[in-house]
Each structure stands twice: as C-alpha cells, then as structure tokens.
C-alpha cells in the first residue's frame, strides 16, 4: 500500500517551496496531485478561465517537476472538478475539456492513476451515457501507457443536502467500470503489463463522499473489490462537504465517520493500492506556523490506517507469538484471529489470574516471557501500550514487541467483560 | 386509489379512542397507522425495562383494544398499517428481555394486527452488523426472526414490512438495516417464494432515507410492487425529527432540501396505489395543543397534494 498526500491547501501553486518542504519533512514520499489547485477565481469569486489556463499550462508542469526533484513521487493525479458555487457560466463542454486535458497531463507525467469525478447533469437517464462517452473519449490517450483512469463516487446536491449521486451506488459503479473496460478492451485491445492484465479503468473510493451519503462502507468496498485502486481518506461531519483530517470530525467523544466499516471493508478486499490523505480544510484552518506539525500528524494518521488495514500481515509475519493482556482485547484477538494465528499463551500483570485459562489460553506471569525463544513475537493486547512496552524492555527481552488493536475487528462479542469483576456485564445470549 | 393516513400516536387515546379517530377523519384522513409500538417504548427496552402491557393474554389485549377498533370503524378509518414494538432483539440486553420480545411481544402483535383487520405490520430489522461484521450476516439473523413470524403472518393474511433504518456513529446517522434496495428486492422475493405467499414487503421511510442520502426515486423504482407501506416525514438530514414534508431548507434560496420531487416520481413510476401514510406524531408535540386539528388538516392537505402529483 502506498501512502500519499493531497497537495490541495498544502502546496501553494505560486509559491510551492515551503509546502513541498513540509510534505517531505513529514515523511510523505508520494503526492496526490489534485489539478483543482489550478483553479483561479476572479474578484467576483467566479472562475477566472484565463488565469486557470495559465496555471494549467505553465505552473502545473513546473510544480510537478519541483515535487519530483524533492524525491516525492506523483503517482495519482485528479482532474479538476468545479465546486458548485463556481459553476456559474461553466459549461459541461468546458468541464469535459478540462478532464481530457488532465488525462493528457497525467499520461505525460507518467502517473499511474488519473482520478476523474463523474459529471453531474439533471437527467439521470443521460448521466450514465454522458459520463460513459467522456470516459471513453479519454481512452485513446491511455493506449501504450500504464496510466489508468479511476472513476470516483460522487454525491448529488439537493438544495444543500447531499445524497447518493453517480457511482455512489457500488453495484452501479461496478457495472459502469466493467462496461468501460469491456468497450475499451474491444476498441483498443487489452493492455498487458508484466504479464498481467491492466485495465483502462478502475475506481477511487472517496471516503468523505461515502460519509456524506451515510453509506455502509464495508459493503461499498467489498462490492467494488479489486476495482478500488485508490482510497481518498477525508473526514467530515456527514452533512457538510469538508475535507478534514481523519478523527477530527467528532461529536460526543466519538468520530462521525464510520471508520469501523471502512477498515473492515478494505481489510476484506486486501486493499493494496493508493491511500491518499485529503485534509484541505484542516490544513487551511491551521496557522502556517503549525503546518509542519499538522503534516506530521497527517502522515502518522495515514500510517496508522495502513497498519490497521494490513494488521493481518503483521500477525502472519511471525511463526510464533504470545499475547500480553487477558481482557477484552485478548478476547477479541481470540475471536477473530485465535484460530488462524494461535498464541502460545497470554500473560497479565494481575497476579490473581495467573494460572487461569482465558479464551483457551493459559494466563502466565510476565516473567515467563523470559523463557521464550528470541523470535517469538509479543503482541500487546492492552491499551497501555507504551507503558507495557517499557516494562518488557526493562525486563531485558529481545523479542519483537508489536501492538495489537481491537478497535476495528471483523466482528465483536455482544458483551464485554468487566475489567474489575472479569465477568460479562449481562449473561451471554 | 391512493389513501391518506397518519399515526394514531398523540391523537388516539386509550381513554376515548373514538374521539381521536373522529379528529383524524375530520382532518381529512381515511386511514391510520396504529402505533402499537407506543405501548412498549424502545427507550425503555434499551434499559431492559419491560412494562407489563404484553403480559396480558390475547383475549385481554383484544378486549383492551375493542374500543379502538370500534372507534376507527364508526369514524370510517381503516387501520391499513401497524407498527410492531421495536427493537425485537437487543444484542446487549438481558436474555429475559429478548425472550419476552420473541415469545410474547411478537406473536401478540401479530394477533392484534389481525384483530384490527390490518393487512400490514412494520417490523424493524435487527441492528447487529457492528457485532457480526456485515449487513449480510445481520440480515441472516433478521431473516430467522422473520421466519419465526412468517407462518403466523401467512395464516392471518398479514404482510410483514421491513423498513429502511439508520444507525449512528458519533451522532452521525448512517445506513442501517434494509437500506439497499437491490438486496431488499432479492430477499423479499426469496422469502415469499419460500412461504409460497406474499408475507414480506417493504416500508419506505422517507425521513430515514433522507438521513442516509438515499436517492428516493431510484430506491422506490427498484422496490416496485414490493413497496407496501410508507412512513412519510421530513428532517434536516441530520436528526430523525419526524416533521412535516417541505419543512426543511439548507440554503438561502429556501428550497426544500428533501427530494420530494424524487419521491413523487418514484411512486408514479411504480404506480403506487396504497396509502400515503405520514409518520409525523412528533409534530403534534411541537405545535400547541390547541392547533392539533389544524396541523393534522395541513398534513392531510399535503397528502392530497401528493395524491394529485402521483
């Protein structure tokens, strides 16, 4: 999985130096090049087409080179899309022209993926055909390249309320992508790269859009499956179309985005594509003085998602393992992974439970970890990770120490055990 | 011919049910959605607090509701739909509560539905996907519950109607059970085939659909004739407010932010010919008591507008 960061509100198209430095210093090695940064507005707040043309023709290639020179790859580009409030006097033909121009830029820049947000029209009957024709018009640019167009899910705006729009229905999106590929393959021939079929079209799952449309992201991801080549991670409150850093749109001490079903879904399809951070609103809201810290947090957050999605790979990395902790997290480990990745035993600092059996595991004194072979990994199944890790290191253990986390498990028990009494809150049904 | 209906809750009382039905008739309704769920509140159930209402035998319950049935009849109101108490299973609840729901509340609700000669009962699907891992696994459990009800429903000629529901994360209401029309179509058809009868149908809830960004027209068109009953109400897209249609706008242009045009197009497309039933009982708490009849008349008038458009 490749982690990238959108350049929107991170890099200034006219003064890109500082933004590129912030991106690099935060540890991002890949930039998600959103060509909407080329949109310029006039004094009336409307689209300034002349300046936009200049940006697209002059500034964008320069910016692209500067990013590359810093060792940051640009694997994914996004065709410009025009916000509703800038739509006045912008014709569908101009939007189409921009999309096709973006494909040319993407191909010329050797990007792996070019994301296109489908177009919006009032008639749902013509919507499918209109978008199909625009996408197919772009295919000729893809022949002989390895660039793939990714169609993104979009919403429909009902007087300020967002509902499911074109390709928001996962089954419709599957049909659309598959039909595009079928026609493109017939017309231009199947593309083969390194002996493998390389379709012309794939899908980009925009998490913020799914959240605005309150969708079941597990079903969404699982239905689209391997067609999903990129995931745009952005948070919002579910009613306003904002791009916030994940975990920052909160209410009543909980996130307002269904990260559980997103992570479950991406795990289920073994997602291994582009994981792209888009937090333009968060980046704008913070003072430029704090931007480097925001960027570092964004990178840490992206890495965390990658780690969560790939958690099973981590379990699979070791041939033997033990757990540290004999509570609910241990219980969740055993429910979801106990059979496939069985631990030798678990241990706990609570001496009252030593010698007892829990979820089929013997609970041992942590001192017994000293008897483990060096290559047995210790998975900490307790939220006091850093404290326990320090304890293990102070014991002089050389074993790999890993964190396990049960926030996004494939399934959960109906009831949890009480931390003090170690009994189920109510009897199990 | 389309009918117009509304919930009995907040209008029809146990003390003088006929008076409540008379108000409904006077306001312009010819159908009613009998709010059986108001006799066992979900807020109580989530706290494992069972009242004793369904402890009564079916004979006692029928006696209890005899004045309601008579009141509806004498005022020319048809009970076209009923709402079963919900939830019908609480994963984190006590076994005793869940057993009571399955063994007492469900069968007695169906018997009462039959007693009222009501052809549809709305049943909430189970909310278990968080625990089980997917909506498909959740549906398997809902289907087991429906299997428990189906033979009785079939015998009584009642259609069990599953409803599109929401669930919440951090106060953000998101897609819950039965929000996928394609799946609903496949499941309803398969279920009815299994019972060789039309025992399962759908209740489309406009407010819940609006909360979770469902495209009304597409959803209704996909359901087609499986759509049996409606819960018509409005909200701001954020909270389940159960208000009067056309109430909410989000922009200064003040156009409705709920897609009522899509709703009308969807119903027209499928030739819906049943009851336009409003689930707007909370509105009656919002307005002064003195305005109850005016508010109900206004709701019925919106119903007539919908009828004309559909």
pLDDT tens-digit series, residues B133-158:
999 999 999 999 999 999 999 999 99
Nearest chain A residue to B209, by CA:
A163
Which CATH entry fits the domain spanning B3-309: 3.30.56.10, 3.20.20.150, 3.40.1440.60, 3.30.300.30?
A: 3.20.20.150
Neighbours of A120 (CB within 10 A): 20
* Distance from the B126 Cα atom to the nearest Cα atom in chain A, whole angstroms: 13
pLDDT of residue A37: 86
Nearest Cα to Cα of residue B11 among B291, B245, B244: B291
Do the chains contact at B174 and A214, CB–CB below 8 Å? yes
- Alpha-carbon dihedral angle through residues A279, A280, A281, A285, given to the nearest 10 degrees: 100
Residues of chain A contacting residue B206, judged by C-beta atoms under 8 Å apart: none
Within 8 A of A256 by CB-CB distance, chain B residues are 169-172
* pLDDT, position A50: 87
pLDDT of residue A88: 62
CA atoms of B206 and B208, how far apart (whole Å) = 6
CB–CB of B279/B33 below 8 Å?
yes
State in Å, rounded, how far the first CA of chain A is from the last one: 40
pLDDT at B37 over 90: yes
SS3 of A100-167: the string is HHHHHHHHHCCCCEEEECCCCCCCHHHHHHHHHHHHHHHHHHHCCCCCEEEEECCEEEECCEEEECCC
Q: Which of B170, B179, B250 sits opposite A250 (nearest CB)?
A: B170
A218 and chain B: CB distance < 8 Å anywhere?
yes
Confidence of residue A85 (pLDDT cuts 50, 70, 90): low
Average pLDDT over residues A382-394: 96
* List of chain B residues whose C-beta atoms are within 8 Å of the C-beta of residue A413: 131
Q: Is the pLDDT of residue A429 over 70?
A: no
DSSP codes, A370-413: GGS-TT-EEEE-SS-HHHHHHHHHHTT--S-EEE---TT-S---
Measuring CA to CA, which residue among A69, A78, A61 is closest to residue A4?
A78
Q: Which residues 393-422 of chain A have a CB within 8 Å of chain B? A: 410-415
8 Å CB contact between A59 and A40: no
How far apart CA B48 and CA B42 sit, in angstroms, is 10
Which segment of A28-42, A141-155, A284-298, B153-167 scores lowest on mean pLDDT?
A28-42
pLDDT at B92: 84
User: Does residue A86 surpass a pLDDT of 60?
Assistant: no
* pLDDT, position A428: 46
Residues 6+ apart with CB under 8 A from B75: B18, B21, B22, B24, B25
What pLDDT does A120 receive?
75
* 8 Å CB contact of B237 and A161: yes
Tell me if chain B has a CB within 8 Å of the CB of A258: yes
Over pLDDT 70: what percentage of chain B? 100
Distance between the two ends of chain B, CA-based, in angstroms? 11
Which residue on chain B is closest to A166 by alpha carbon? B215
Q: For residues A344-359, give the mean pLDDT.
A: 95
- Predicted local distance difference test score (pLDDT) of residue A363: 97
B219: closest CA of chain A, how far (Å): 11
Task: Count CB-CB contacts under 10 A for residue A328.
Answer: 19
Strands A73-78 and A30-34: parallel
The β-bridge partners of A250 are: A255
Contact A174/B at CB under 8 A: no
Taking CB atoms and an 8 Å limit, are A163 and B214 in contact across chains? yes
B237 min Cα distance to partner chain A (Å): 7
| pLDDT confidence of residue A42 | 79
Mean pLDDT score of chain B: 96
Q: Which position has the token pair 């159930």?
A: B45
Q: Which residues of B touch A218 (CB under 8 A)?
A: 129, 133-135
Q: Nearest CA to A176 among A223, A236, A243?
A: A223
The structure tokens listed for A336 are: 């979801």
Average pLDDT rounded to a whole number, residues A210-233: 98
What are the sequence ranges of the domains in chain B?
3-309
Category of A380 on φ-ψ map: left (φ > 0), alpha (ψ -120 to 50) or beta = beta
pLDDT of B121 strictly over 50? yes
**Whether pLDDT at A95 is above 90:** no
Residue range A314-335, pLDDT digits in tens:
999 999 999 999 999 999 999 9
Which pTM was predicted? 0.95
Predicted pLDDT at A226: 97
- Provide the strand spans (E) within A172-306: 192-193, 196-197, 201-206, 228-233, 250-251, 254-255, 274-277
Which of A347, A307, A341 has its CA nearest to residue A321?
A341
Query: Mutating which of A153, A167, A216 best tests the B interface, going by the most B Cβ atoms within 10 A?
Result: A216
Q: Which of residues 52-81 of A touch B (CB under 8 A)?
A: none
Q: Tell the CATH superfamily of the A2-309 domain.
A: Divalent-metal-dependent TIM barrel enzymes (3.20.20.150)
Cβ distance B214 to A251 less than 8 Å, yes or no, reads no
What is the overall mean pLDDT for chain A?
92
Query: For the residues B112-116, what does the mean pLDDT come to?
Result: 98
Of A161, A162, A237, the CB nearest to B258: A161
As given in the structure block, the two tokens for residue A27 are 């540890």
Query: What residue spans define the domains of chain A?
Result: 2-309, 314-403
pLDDT tens digits along B277-303: 999 999 999 999 999 999 999 999 999
User: What is the percent of chain B where pLDDT is above 90?
Assistant: 91
Q: Which of A214-228, A253-267, B50-64 comes out lowest in average pLDDT?
A: B50-64
Q: How many angstroms away from the CA of B289 is the closest CA of chain A?
A: 32
Q: Measured between CB atoms, which of A156, A171, A215 is closest to B175? A: A215
* B81 has pLDDT over 80: yes
The two three-digit tokens of residue A420, written as one number: 């003090």
Distance CA A115, CA A128 (A): 17
Contact A219 B134 (CB under 8 A): yes
Would you say B256 and A159 are in contact if contact means Cβ atoms under 8 Å apart?
A: yes
Q: Which pLDDT band holds residue A121 (cuts at 50, 70, 90)? A: low
Mean pLDDT of B209-219: 97
CB within 8 Å: A163 and B182: no
User: Would you state the pLDDT for residue A89?
Assistant: 63
How much is the average pLDDT of A359-364? Answer: 96
What the block records as the tokens of A227 is 């067609």
Q: Nearest C-alpha of chain B: how many angstroms from A187?
A: 32
Nearest by CB: A218 against B94, B134, B258: B134
Residue of A nearest to B89 (CA): A429
Q: Which two tokens stand for residue A50?
A: 């002349």
**CA separation for the pair A320, A316 (Å, rounded):** 9
Closest-CA residue to A113 (of A167, A13, A34, A42): A34
Whether the per-residue pLDDT at A158 is higher than 80: the answer is yes
Interface check for A85 against chain B (CB to CB < 8 A): the answer is no
Grade residue A308 by pLDDT with cuts at 50, 70 and 90: very high
- Cβ atoms of B79 and B25 within 8 Å: the answer is no
Contacts of A302 (CB under 8 A, 6+ apart): A3, A5, A28, A233, A275, A277
Which of B133, B166, B213 comes nearest A411 by C-beta? B133
Q: In Å, how far is A237's CA from the nearest CA of chain B?
A: 7
A247 pLDDT higher than 60: yes
Smallest CA-to-CA distance from A61 within A79, A42, A38, A94 is with: A38
Helix-strand-coil split of chain A, %, nearest 5? 40, 20, 40
Question: Which runs of E-coded beta strand occur in A190-348?
Answer: 192-193, 196-197, 201-206, 228-233, 250-251, 254-255, 274-277, 321-324, 346-347
**Full 3-state SS string of chain B:** CCEEEEECCCCCCCCCHHHHHHHHHHHCCCEEEECHHHHCCHHHHCCCCCCCHHHCCHHHHHHHHHHHHHHHHHCCCEEEEEECCCCCCCCCCCHHHHHHHHHHHHHHHHHHHHHCCCCEEEECCCCCHHHHCCHHHHHHHHHHHHHHHHHHHHHHCCEEEEECCEEEECCEEEECCCCCHHHHHHHHHHHHHHHCCCCEEEEEEHHHHHHCCCCHHHHHHHHHHHEEEEEECECCCCCCCCECCCCCECCCCCCECCCHHHHHHHHHHHCCCCEEEECCCCHHHHCCHHHHHHHHHHHHHHHHHHHHHC
Q: Which residues of A touch B212 (CB under 8 A)?
A: 213-215
Residue B99: closest CA among chain A residues belongs to which residue? A429
**Banded pLDDT at A123 (limits 50, 70, 90):** low
CA proximity to A299, closest of A23, A20, A32, A78: A23
Residue of B nearest to A237 (CA): B172
Asked if pLDDT for residue B173 goes beyond 70, the answer is yes
**CATH number corresponding to A314-403:** 3.40.50.720
**Residue B48, pLDDT above cutoff 80:** no
pLDDT at B297: 98
């Amino acid at each position: 999985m490749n982690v990238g960061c959108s350049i929107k509100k991170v890099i200034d198209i006219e003064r890109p130096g500082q933004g590129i430095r912030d991106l690099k210093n935060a540890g991002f090695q890949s930039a998600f090049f959103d060509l909407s940064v080329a949109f310029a507005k006039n004094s009336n707040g409307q689209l300034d087409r002349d300046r936009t043309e200049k940006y697209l023709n002059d500034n964008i290639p320069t910016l692209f080179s500067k990013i590359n020179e810093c060792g940051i790859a640009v694997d994914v580009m996004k065709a410009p899309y025009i916000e509703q409030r800038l739509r006045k006097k912008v014709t569908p033909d101009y939007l189409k022209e921009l999309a096709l121009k973006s494909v040319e830029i993407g191909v010329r820049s050797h990007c792996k993926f070019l994301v296109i947000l489908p177009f919006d029209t009032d008639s749902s009957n013509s919507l499918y055909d209109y978008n199909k024709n625009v996408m197919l018009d772009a295919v000729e640019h893809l022949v002989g390249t390895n660039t793939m167009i990714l169609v993104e899910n979009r919403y429909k705006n009902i007087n300020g309320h967002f509902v499911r729009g074109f390709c928001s229905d996962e089954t419709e999106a599957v049909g659309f992508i598959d039909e595009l590929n079928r026609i493109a393959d017939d017309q231009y021939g199947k593309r083969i790269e390194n002996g493998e079929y390389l379709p012309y079209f794939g899908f980009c799952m925009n998490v913020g859009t799914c959240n605005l449309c309150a969708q079941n992201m597990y079903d969404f991801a699982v239905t689209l499956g391997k067609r999903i080549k990129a995931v745009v991670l952005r948070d919002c409150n579910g009613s306003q179309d904002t791009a916030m850093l994940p975990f920052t749109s909160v209410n009543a001490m909980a996130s307002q985005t269904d990260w559980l079903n997103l992570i479950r879904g991406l795990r289920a399809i073994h997602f291994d594509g582009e994981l792209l951070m888009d937090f333009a609103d968060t980046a704008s809201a913070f003072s430029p003085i704090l931007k480097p810290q925001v960027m570092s947090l964004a990178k840490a957050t992206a890495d965390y998602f990658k780690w969560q999605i790939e958690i099973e790979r981590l379990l699979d990395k070791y041939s033997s393992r033990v757990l540290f902790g004999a509570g609910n997290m241990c219980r969740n480990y055993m429910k979801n992974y106990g059979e496939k990745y069985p631990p030798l035993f678990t241990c706990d600092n609570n001496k009252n439970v030593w010698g007892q059996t829990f979820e089929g595991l013997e609970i041992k004194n942590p001192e017994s970890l000293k008897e483990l072979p060096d290559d047995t990994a210790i998975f900490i199944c307790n939220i006091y990770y850093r404290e326990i890790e320090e304890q293990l290191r102070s014991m002089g253990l050389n074993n790999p120490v890993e964190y396990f986390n049960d926030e996004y498990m494939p399934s959960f028990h109906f009831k949890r055990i009480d931390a003090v009494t170690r009994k189920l809150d109510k009897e199990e049904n | 011919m389309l009918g117009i209906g509304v919930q009995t809750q907040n209008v029809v009382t146990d003390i003088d049910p006929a008076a409540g039905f008379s108000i409904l008739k006077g306001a312009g309704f010819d159908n009613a959605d009998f709010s059986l769920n108001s006799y066992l509140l979900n807020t109580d159930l989530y706290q494992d607090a069972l009242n004793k209402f369904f402890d009564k035998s079916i004979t006692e319950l029928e006696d209890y509701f005899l004045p309601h049935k008579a009141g509806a009849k004498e005022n020319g109101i048809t009970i076209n739909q009923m709402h079963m108490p919900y939830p019908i299973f609480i994963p984190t609840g006590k076994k005793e509560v869940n057993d009571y729901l399955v063994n007492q509340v469900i069968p007695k609700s169906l018997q009462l539905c039959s007693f009222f000669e009501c052809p549809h009962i709305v049943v909430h699907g189970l909310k278990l996907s968080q625990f089980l891992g997917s909506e498909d696994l959740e549906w398997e459990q809902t289907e087991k519950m429906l299997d428990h009800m189906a033979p009785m429903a079939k015998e009584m000629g009642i259609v069990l109607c599953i409803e599109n529901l929401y669930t919440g994360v951090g106060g953000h209401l998101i897609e819950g059970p039965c929000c996928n029309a394609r799946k609903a179509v496949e499941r309803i058809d398969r279920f009815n085939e299994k019972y060789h009868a039309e025992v399962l149908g759908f209740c489309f809830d406009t407010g819940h659909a609006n909360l979770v960004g469902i495209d009304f027209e597409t959803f209704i068109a996909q359901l087609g004739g499986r759509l049996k009953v409606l819960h018509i109400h409005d909200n701001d897209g954020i909270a389940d407010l159960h208000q009067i249609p056309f109430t909410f706008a989000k922009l200064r242009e003040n156009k409705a932010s709920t897609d009522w045009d899509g709703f009308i197009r969807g119903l027209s497309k499928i030739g819906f010919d049943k009851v336009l039933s409003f689930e707007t009982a909370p509105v009656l708490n919002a307005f002064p008591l003195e305005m109850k009849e005016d508010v109900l008349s206004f709701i019925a008038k919106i119903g007539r507008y919908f009828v004309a458009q559909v």
